[in-house]
Amino acid sequence: MEPAIAVSQLERHFRNKKALDRVSFEVARGEIFGFLGPSGSGKTTMVKILTGQLQPSAGEAFVLGKRAAGRRDPEQLRRIGIMTDNSGIYERLTVYDNLALFRGLYEAPEKSVAGTLESVGLAGEARTTVQQLSKGMKQRVALARALLHKPDLLFLDEPTSALDPMNAARIHEALRALNRQGTTIFLTTHDMAEAETLCDRIAFLNNGTLSALDTPQRLKLSHADRSTITVVASDGRHVVNNDREGAERIAGWMRAGQLLSIHSDEPSLGDIFVKLTGRTLS
Ligand SMILES: Nc1ncnc2c1ncn2[C@@H]1O[C@H](COP(=O)(O)OP(=O)(O)OP(=O)(O)O)[C@@H](O)[C@H]1O
């Protein structure tokens, strides 16, 4: 099956600034793919190119088999969903009326409004005016709008930025449910925890170039320090060498019934980003 997204040697220049520089990657159908990078690294520029809002300066990008050409293709727009921020949500309309408006544009069935509100946990707020909602709820209205027509591919630019953990978790839950039903998800974030819990694979973007692309697990394993092991015994925490002598010490704690836990020294995604780029993610 052709990939959901195929990007090859993509570049975007703004005057003398290279926002994206020879970026290549593919996103398989059914994946949740995370584009991770600090502010100004080029994440939004990539989303804009893939959703037809911006023309690339060089290279190619294909979305659901069609070239992303820097113009809005109505047929393609019906197959993708885009959630960038809350803009485009009408504050003075009710939650229901906001979605009903977009349902008309997408030619989605009438019952899709209630079903979508249910899926993002807003069924009880259908008659509430948007301006009365909390920030987290507004963000869920924006998500509902992007999901309404059951897109094959969903683009999310910082979907949970500035949300409290509870609201972020609600959005994550809705995204997982959608993904289980077959929607491919491309999300940008600078939140490592979000990338790690949600994404099948992640790409690290730094100054417009990709510096790594893999599953969170493989990235962590490939950068793990295997020379030491952390042991928690009943007398405290110990770092032992990963060798014969270390094994003897661990066996000693086990024999004495004092071993509580053993951990390999895995770096966090943030640590790996710093190691690869010399920059932090925030
Ligand atoms: N329309 C534009 N004109 C000039 N420069 C731009 C334009 N859009 C983006 N840039 C520049 O391109 C670079 C990448 O910007 P982009 O918005 O893609 O980053 P980002 O990773 O999405 O950042 P953030 O996380 O802050 O949203 C930045 O240096 C930005 O200033």
Nearest C-alpha to atom 6 of ligand 1 is from which residue? 14
pLDDT value at residue 86 = 61
Could you tell me if 131 and 248 lie in one domain? no
Model confidence band, residue 266 (pLDDT cutoffs 50, 70, 90): confident
Q: For residue 16, is it within any domain?
A: yes
48 lines ligand 1 (CB under 6 A): no
* Phi, psi (deg, nearest 5) at residue 43: -65, -50
CB neighbours of residue 156 within 10 Å: 25
Decide if pLDDT at 193 tops 90. no
Residue 138 tokens read as 């507004």
The values of phi and psi at residue 227, to 5°, are: -80, -20
Say if residue 264's pLDDT is above 80.
Answer: no
Among residues 241, 221, 240, the alpha carbon closest in space to that of 231 is found at 240
Question: Within this chain, do residues 91 and 229 fall inside the same structural domain, yes or no?
Answer: no
Looking at residue 270, its pLDDT comes to 87
Q: Is ligand 1 within 6 A of the CB of residue 45?
A: yes
Q: Is residue 39 part of a domain?
A: yes
Angle at 43 between CA 82 and CA 144, to 5 degrees: 20
Residues 112 and 215 in one domain: yes
35: closest CA among 188, 219, 159? 188
Considering only residues 51 and 165, tell me which one the structure prediction assigns the higher pLDDT: 51
Residues 215 and 232 in one domain: no
* Whether 150 and 246 share a structural domain: no
Give the whole-number percent of the chain exceeding pLDDT 70: 98
Judgement on whether residues 214 and 238 belong to the same structural domain of the protein: no
Chain segment 72-99, per-residue pLDDT in tens: 777 888 899 998 876 678 999 999 999 9
**How many domains in the chain?**
2
| Residues 269/216, Cβ–Cβ less than 8 Å | yes
Residue 194: pLDDT above 90? no
Contact call for residues 67 and 220 (beta carbons, < 8 A): no
Residues 94, 137, single domain; the answer is yes
Clarify whether residues 99 and 147 are in a common domain.
Answer: yes
pLDDT, tens digit (0-9, with 9 covering 90-100), for 202-246: 999 999 999 999 999 999 988 887 788 889 999 999 999 989 999
* 114 and 240 co-located in one domain: no
The residue whose two tokens read 């009880």 is 124
Please tell me whether the overall predicted TM-score, pTM, comes out greater than 0.80 for this model: yes
| Any domain includes 111 | yes
Cα gap 154→139, rounded to integer Å: 15
148/234 same-domain check: no
Mean pLDDT of the chain: 90
CA distance 237 to 234: 8
Answer yes or no: is 67 within a domain.
Answer: yes
Distance CA 198, CA 33 (A): 9
Query: pLDDT higher for 22 or 71?
Result: 22
Residues 109 and 233 in one domain: no
Whether residue 275 is contained in a domain is answered as: no
Residue 282: inside a domain: no
Torsion region of 63: left, alpha or beta (phi above 0 gives left; psi -120 to 50 gives alpha): beta
CA distance 267 to 242: 16
* pLDDT beyond 90 at 27: yes
- 10, 14, 35, 209: which to mutate for ligand 1, most atoms within 8 A of CB? 14
Same domain for 174 and 257: no
Cα–ligand 1 centroid distance for 207 (angstroms):
10
161 and 187 Cβ atoms separated by less than 8 Å: no
**Domain of residue 246, residue span:** 225-265
Q: What is the ipTM of this complex?
A: 0.96
